């Protein structure tokens, strides 16, 4: 039978069954959803209209995520889906779709921050310890001056700081895994982060009430 997006097989507004007077057309087809899951990367190519290719991601484990306020992007590991505005089932099954709120590994961003600013990302945290017997890297006066200038701007949102301490950052997927074969996005910050943290809290309270 196949998935059809045509309306000829639907009943009319009055409820009458329409007569079948035309065969199905290729441009009316539909395809099954990708339902991209977490796991070792598996991507299928799909030949589509115009001879183009779509990349149907069936499983993904990494993606490129942008930290907007710091103008930096890093490839990082996807940990799990925590919120989806359209359907809670997609959270339960860890399905990766556009606009899903997920958790990603904070390590690549922590490493970048500590290298860039020369200080730990969290107040309680420690920078990566140097190997035993190795001397601390001695910077030239010029490099030290640059580092001191950078440190003046090294402010970090307390909400992000607590996430760095836990080793996981909240992020949103902005690519379409079932179309482009990628799960890329951005780290949540500011008002948007506050909004989703509220949503997560209310969701947990509802589940606790039902339990």
Residue whose C-alpha is closest to residue 175's, from 165, 167, 166, 185: 185
Looking at the domain assignment, is residue 197 inside a domain?
yes
pLDDT score recorded for residue 170: 96
**Residue 100: domain span:** 29-130+139-203
pLDDT tier at 133, thresholds 50, 70, 90 = low
Q: For position 195, which CATH number holds? A: 3.10.290.70
82, 103 Cβ separation under 8 angstroms = yes
Each residue of 78-93: pLDDT tens digit?
999 999 999 999 999 9
pLDDT score recorded for residue 27: 94
Lowest mean pLDDT of 29-43, 50-64, 111-125, 183-197, name the range. 111-125
Looking at the domain assignment, is residue 16 inside a domain?
no
Residue 96 has pLDDT above 60, yes or no: yes
Q: How many domains does the chain have?
A: 1
pTM recorded for the entire structure: 0.83
79, 102 Cβ separation under 8 angstroms = yes
DSSP 14-51: TSPPPP--S---GGGEE------EESS-EEEEEE-GGG
């Amino acid at each position: 039978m196949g998935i059809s997006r045509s309306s000829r097989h639907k009943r009319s507004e009055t409820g009458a069954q329409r007569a079948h007077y035309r065969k199905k057309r290729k441009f009316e087809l539909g395809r099954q959803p990708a339902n991209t899951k977490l796991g070792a990367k598996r991507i299928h190519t799909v030949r589509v209209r115009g001879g183009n290719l779509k990349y149907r991601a069936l499983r993904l484990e990494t993606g490129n995520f942008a930290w907007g306020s710091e103008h930096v992007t890093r490839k990082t590991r996807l940990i799990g889906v925590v919120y989806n505005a359209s359907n809670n089932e997609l959270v339960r099954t860890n399905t990766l779709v556009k606009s899903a709120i997920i958790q990603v590994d904070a390590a690549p961003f922590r490493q970048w921050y500590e290298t860039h600013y020369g200080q730990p990302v969290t107040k309680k945290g420690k920078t990566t310890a140097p190997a035993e017997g190795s001397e601390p890297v001695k910077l030239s006066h010029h490099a030290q001056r640059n580092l001191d200038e950078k440190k003046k701007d090294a402010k970090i949102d307390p909400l992000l700081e607590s996430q760095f301490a836990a080793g996981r950052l909240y992020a949103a997927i902005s690519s379409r895994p079932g179309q482009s074969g990628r799960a890329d996005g951005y780290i949540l910050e500011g008002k948007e982060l506050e909004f989703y943290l509220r949503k997560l809290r209310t969701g947990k309270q509802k589940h606790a009430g039902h339990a």
